[in-house]
Amino acid sequence: MNNQNDYNDNKKITYHEQTDISNILKLREVLKTLPPFCRDYFRAMDPVTTTNTRISYAYDIRIFFQFLLDENPAFKNYSLKDFTVDVLDQLKAVDIEEYLEYLKVYKNGDKTETNGERGMKRKLSALRSFYAYYFKHEFIKTNPTVLVDVPKIHDKSIIRLDSDEVALLLDHIEHCGDELTGQKRAYYEKTKERDLAIVTLLLGTGIRVSECVGLDVEDIDFKNNGIKITRKGGNEMVVYFGSEVERALRQYLTVREGVTPVTGHEHALFYSTQRKRIGIQAVENLVKKYARAITTTKKITPHKLRSTYGTALYQETGDIYLVADVLGHRDVNTTKKHYAAMDDARRRKAASAVHLRED
């Protein structure tokens, strides 16, 4: 019996398992601030959604009820705890439209919050899912959310680094410390190999920043040059990398050997300067810091490095299905929308293909 307990005590908890535990505890706290009947909905969502989705929806649903308290005269004397499920039947499509208008700019305590097209669409999706559960289970007789048009998302050009900018970025990370002195130089030297490995990995595989920070050192397979990642939704997948990523990872691992990690972070591939698993925000900050020195006209984030990889892979192979598979897109139409329309070289040929006058 003791051996079994020892096994459980020493069982490795992955980054994604730890994230789920944190989200579940966070969700329980948010549910305490929502009307009691909401618990049924989130309990029903549990088997079919990720913890990230549920916590996101919980925040969005709370905004909806706050809107009713702040803006709807019928509920001016209510508190969040006073709402019962029948309130959903009292609302009409016009109330939902007013909610979308409210979402553009609203007060959240001392903060002013804003939502663009994507934010409004996501919050309407959360509300539609919320209504659909109670309508399906016959708690309510109406569902006004289906009568409201989803906000139109206007396409934006994909921001990515050009091939020369990719080379400049990696060169900059390798050599930008040459001009530094003192503490800045010491910090740069301490983080240089890690930062170069992270940026090279993002550019060379197209993995998400959450997938990157979730990597354990055991997830690297140098025999096949692959890394095992956990995709959104929890599916595991092996993504393969080339020689440039291999060199950067091997060089970083020699530095990593000298780090004594904080207890509980022994398996993490990438460490923060506090010797803990590096976080998403830290990776976002380091990418922005280095990219600012390369381009002032492009706002480069880890996701833009993913777009850079996807674009390069599509231009090299012309295989949209391969791009979708490697990037982990569930729907190839998502990939087509983002990458297949970006063949600028072919478009430029059109400019010289048609002659209006003879020379």
**CATH code: domain of residue 25:** 1.10.150.130
For residue 357, count CB atoms less than 10 angstroms from its CB and return exposed for 0-12, middle for 13-18, buried for 19 or more.
Answer: exposed
Average pLDDT of the residues in 233-258: 93
Q: Are residues 124 and 184 in the same domain?
A: no
348 lies in some domain: no
Q: Are residues 190 and 233 in the same domain?
A: yes
Model pLDDT, residue 215: 96
User: Tokens standing for 297?
Assistant: 């006209």
Q: Are residues 255 and 292 in the same domain?
A: yes
Q: Are residues 167 and 296 in the same domain?
A: yes
For residue 197, the domain's CATH number is 1.10.443.10
Model pLDDT, residue 195: 97
Average pLDDT of the residues in 171-184: 90
Q: Are residues 171 and 23 in the same domain?
A: no
Instruction: Band the pLDDT of 347: cuts 50, 70, 90.
Output: low
Q: How many domains does the chain divide into?
A: 2
Q: Are residues 123 and 270 in the same domain?
A: no
For residue 249, count CB atoms less than 10 angstroms from its CB and return exposed for 0-12, middle for 13-18, buried for 19 or more.
Answer: buried
pLDDT greater than 90 at residue 107: no
Q: Are residues 255 and 293 in the same domain?
A: yes
* Continuous segment of H or E residues that includes residue 112: strand 111-114
d(CA 220, CA 217) in angstroms, rounded, equals 6
Report DSSP letters for 177-215, one per residue: GGG--HHHHHHHHHHHHHHHHHHHHHHHH---HHHHHT-
Q: Are residues 20 and 113 in the same domain?
A: yes
Model pLDDT, residue 8: 43
* Continuous segment of H or E residues that includes residue 231: none
Per-residue pLDDT of 190-200, as tens digits, reads 999 999 999 99
Prediction pTM value: 0.81
Model pLDDT, residue 6: 41
pLDDT greater than 60 at residue 346: no
Q: Are residues 211 and 326 in the same domain?
A: yes
Q: Are residues 238 and 134 in the same domain?
A: no
Average pLDDT of the residues in 124-140: 97
pLDDT over 70 for what percent of the chain?
A: 91
Average pLDDT of the residues in 80-88: 94
Which SS3 state, helix, strand or coil, does residue 230 take? strand
Which of 147, 174, 189 marks a domain boundary? 147
Q: Are residues 107 and 168 in the same domain?
A: no
Instruction: Band the pLDDT of 2: cuts 50, 70, 90.
Output: very low
Model pLDDT, residue 177: 84
Q: Which domain holds residue 8?
A: 2-147
Q: Are residues 325 and 190 in the same domain?
A: yes
